Amino acid sequence: MKVAITGGSGFIGSVLAEELLRTGHKVRVVDLSRGFVGNKKIEYKRADICAQDRLKNSFKDVDCVVHLAAYSKIRNCIKNPELAFRINVGGTLNVLLSAKACGVRRVIYASSSSVYGNQASFPFREDMPVRLLNPYASTKFGGEQICREFPKWCSIEVVALRLFNVYGSDDAILGNVDCPSVVEIFLKQKKLGQKLTVIGDGGQKRDLVHVSDVAAAFKAAIESKLVGRGEIINVGSGVSHSVAEIAKLVSGGAVEIAGRYEEAYETLADISRAKKLLKWKPKQDLKKWIVSQIR
């Protein structure tokens, strides 16, 4: 199968691209980077998801599109909400329309657990009402809604994966890219001999899922015969850890800082739907991974 990955040069996309190639798929990375650094067997096309004509050329002869490209920082979305909606909502519609025009069979959308906001009960189930606390969450939910309805309008399969907090970036720990999760932030600070910056008392809890498990979930969504009708599926570990607990595992001392924007105090994924429809479950253990990084 030939798979195009928008934003494929990024943190999740690069891991997914390598995994798909390793397991026999052909891969085309579609984004605005200078090219895919890594396996030379991965094809690269430069295109902006906000430019539908370029996307159509990028999706030719493709069986499935994984849509990862996004304006993804909460603080950036707060500062530039218009740009966030243009890229995350309008860009998602462009991806779907371009995929349809090129005869793509399936599109898989990377949504976010941020759409849940603060809930009264745990774990978070896909049928819970959303609580949109910031512009980023609003834009990811907007893209989700388009994906949910699109199969009703057009003969194309669509599924959305709600990703919880993804960790596992060695580049982030080394300071080569922005930190995608609190885990890499702490490990980078420890490496630099700095105090770990904990927001408040560190009681906030996060469901953290390793990037290799996330890549496996996308691969399962590409191959599964049980999805494609606009399903929303959680991708998390099914376990939550407090920020203070993570800081203690990393060690090195900590200092309290104020929060920068509004986000959920606690996240925890119900992954029963992923187990049923994708035949997927996470394999990586957060604590073991942290220990492996600080030896």
Q: Which residues are catalytic, by number?
A: 136
Q: Tell the burial category of 180 from Cβ atoms under 10 Å away from its Cβ (0-12, 13-18, 19+).
A: buried
Pairing between β-strand 240-242 and β-strand 205-210 as defined by DSSP bridges: antiparallel
Q: How far apart are CA 94 and CA 52, in angstroms?
A: 6
| CB neighbour list of residue 265: distance below 8 Å, 6 or more residues apart | 118, 203, 204, 205
Taking the C-alpha atoms of residue 277 and residue 227, their distance in angstroms, rounded to an integer, is 7
Only one residue has tokens 């699109």, namely 150
